[in-house]
Amino acid sequence: MRRIPEQLIEDIKAANDIVDVISERIRTKKAGRNYKAVCPFHDEKTPSFNINPERQIYHCFGCGVGGNVITFLMEYEKIGFLDAVRELAQRAGISIPESDGGAGSAEDPVYAANAMARRYFRECRAGPEGDAARRYWQGRGISDEMTEMFQIGCAKPGWDGLLKRAQKEGVPPSVLEEAGLVIERDKGGYYDRFRDRLVFPLLWSGGRVVGFGGRALDDSEPKYLNSPETRVYHKGHYLYGLAQARSALRASREAILVEGYMDTLSLYEAGFHNVVASAGTALTIEQARILSRYADRVFVAYDGDAAGIAAATKAAELLVRLGVKVRIAEFPDGADPDSFVRQSGADAMKEELSRARDFIDFLLGVSPPETAEDREKAAHELLETVASIEDPIKADLMLEKIARSLSIDRGALTRALEARKASASRRSAARADGAPRRGAEAERVVGAAERAAQKGLLGLLLAGGDRALRVREELEPSDFTDPLMRGLAERLMGEEGAGAVDVGAFLDKLSSSEEASVITEISVAASDDDNGGRACDDYIRIIRRSAIETEIGVVDREIETAEMTGDEEKLLARVHARQELARRLRELSAGD
């Protein structure tokens, strides 16, 4: 696309309320002027993620992340700036000028190559080469409407169909290789990765294609072939079907997790629009975290064979550790969700899901404990899962279920769990640095007080008005001893006028996440403080006192040097200078 005008970006931000955008992805709760949530960017028990609707920013006081609606989408969805702007524009119904392919195009070359490949695969599907692909999906009960929704295409049997198309469109083979679309030959040159296959585009937010999956149309091996890891595609962070399932997931807060592309298509065709797949990989913790943001309950519906049961157990355990309510569906005679729903219908699938067992019942059903030793082993395995659950209520309920299911005394399980946690804590402490910290801690206390004052002054500059004018009159950026604060003070003191600073626009001017974190922390904290924070005089006094104390330290060293060298004239001058500094320090301290 062409470079997006700054004013259009501002219009897109203004059209997307940050509370609404974030609330569509995580649960938020009103707290004073702000909204709070459990931070989606780090593990925590107590909500420390704050959203300020007035300034349209967010900040987490736990991990320090912060920004505006665009940066949130970038971090949450793991997408680039242009993709985030595109998705927000689409959400608000705002049109963005399309790319003309010229030198000024801001399109990422890998995304552009994937978009070109998607067009090519779709055109192949529409031509005579697509007959075999159409027969395949129609034979599997997938409608043309569904293939349109999931943008399915096909690849020709030849070795260089995509390469030839790319050459016509000016996409170099090196970019195709970077996108995982071609493979380099041993003796030079390239050949298409996807050949004679049904092709599933892997869609991300805003409809961008990050990669592809291919299903062989004959008996070729491998039956399924996926894009390799690329700069834009990380299989362990991707869930197939999430782009189509988002609205259903948000509405129901329930998800059906399957393994493959056809499982997803068949269930979606049958009316289960909240289905996603961990296609191409066993469920990873990153995929589980993504799913937990959309769903409070997940039905794990993997294949009914031994491999599927083992994979379902691992997937369920990951989700349980994240506090998700899990039910595992079990299909008869080793069937998979795709074959089951096609043969038995949607009602039978609903009935199967209603009979799905929770994690503990499923695990004990797979390997029923027959002896006391079996029960003990199962208890220890389950306690390992309980120990990782952060929500104490969910952990307690699971502990109670384990006690009932294994007929083990609840108190004994509680003591075993506490012993496990204590042991883990001791190991963590043993790994920690045990060096003396007294001096360093004292230095941090002084530094923390000064940094707090500097943050307070930056907050006054952001708020504008008489106090901001006073800060400008009394201090210079050089008075901010923290380099990060000094840089921000220079920017803020360079802003024209004495009005309040548009924090959202100011964030766009910053060059580092550290600067953004400081600004959002200051802004959110100030907006939630009805008393207005500490007085301007207090902040300035702390800054000046710190400067004098630093100067006294320099003079003390000069006095020591003069005494050692016998320079009485310099000694007398430095003593008088120290007395004057001490007097000024007393005057400042008298105001405390």
Q: What is the pLDDT of residues 480-513, one digit of tens each?
A: 888 888 888 888 887 765 678 888 778 878 877 7
Quick check: pTM over 0.85?
A: no
Q: What is the pLDDT of residues 328-344, one digit of tens each?
A: 999 887 789 999 999 99
592 Cβ contact list (under 8 Å, min separation 6): 541
pLDDT at residue number 424: 64
Number of H helices, E strands in the chain: 26, 16
Q: First CA to last CA across the chain, in angstroms?
A: 58
C-alpha distances (whole Å) from 227 to each of 148, 179, 213, 230, 585 are 21, 8, 6, 8, 67
Q: Mean pLDDT over residues 207-226, rounded?
A: 88
pLDDT at residue number 323: 84
Q: What is the pLDDT of residues 545-586, one digit of tens each?
A: 888 888 888 888 888 887 777 788 888 888 888 888 888 887
Percent of the chain residues past pLDDT 90, beyond the cut: 29
Lowest-pLDDT choice from 112-126, 198-212, 254-268, 438-452: 438-452
Which tokens sit at 23? 């609330």
DSSP string, 426-487: HHHHHHS--S--HHHHHHHHHHHHHHHHHHHHHHHHHH-SHHHHHHHHH--GGG--SHHHHH
DSSP string, 339-369: HHHHHH-HHHHHHHHHT-EEHHHHHHHHS--
pLDDT bracket for residue 527 (50, 70, 90): low
Which tokens sit at 357? 């067992």
C-alpha distances (whole Å) from 498 to each of 57, 523, 526, 547 are 21, 17, 18, 27
